[in-house]
Amino acid sequence: MSKRILIIDDEVSFTRLMSMNLEDTGDFEVKIENDPLKATQTAKYFKPDVVILDILMPGKSGLQLATEWESSEELGAIPIIFLTAAMSKDQPDVENALFIKHQVLIKPVSFTQLIDTIRQVLKK
């Protein structure tokens, strides 16, 4: 049974290409949400096994979304892979508890690295 992946990122082209790559593996059912303000609703409806979440988005940041989900019964247990161009490993934000709890990937990321991380997260 294929795993469901929800991609939340306002970069339309990027999400489309990532989705194409993921779907080509035949292992995943992928849903894209480019509007962070609709992301919670989409997550509740789609019930993803893993969420790939951008951080810097207009209207609501990925960190705000993840913080809201922490206390949600429905969404609190979903593993998150933060995928962002807004930070580097040297930045103090990496000390944030949410970043420690979940996975963080820095753009540009290779598809191999992305798929390895997704499989690793799903195994847990």
Partner 1 sequence: MSEPVPPEQAHRRAIFDPDEGQGAVSHPWWRHHVRVLYLEDEDLPAEVVLYILQREEPQAFQIQRTTSLAATVAALNQNAYDVVLIDLNLPDSEGWETFAAVHRAAPETAVVILTGDPDTEIAVRAVGEGAQDYLYKHELNVPGLLTRVLHYAVTRHHIDQALRAANRSLEQRNQELQRTMASLEQTRLALVESEKIKSMGQMAAGIAHEIKNPLAIIRMGLDYLSGAQPEKAPQAIARTLPEMVSALDRANTILSEMLDYAAPRALQVEAFPLNEVVREALVIMGTSLCTSGIEVLADLDEELPEIELDRQKMIQVMINLIGNASQAMPNGGLLRIRTRRTQFPVDSSDATSEGMPEIALLEVQDSGTGIREEDLEHVFDPFFTTRAGSGGTGLGLSVCKMILDLHGGRLTLQNHPDGGSVATIQFIL
3-state secondary structure 14-51: HHHHHHHHHHHCCCEEEEEECCHHHHHHHHHHHCCCEE
Q: How far is the CB of 22 from partner 1 (least distance, A)?
A: 10
Contact window for partner 1 (CB under 8 A) among 40-48, 71-79, 95-103, 108-116: 108-116
Residue 34 touches partner 1, criterion: CB under 8 A: yes
What is the DSSP code (8-state) at residue 102? Answer: S
CB distance 5 to 22 below 8 Å: yes
Residue 69 touches partner 1, criterion: CB under 8 A: no
Residues that bind partner 1 (CB under 8 A): 9-14, 16-18, 20-21, 24, 34, 56-58, 85-86, 88, 106-112
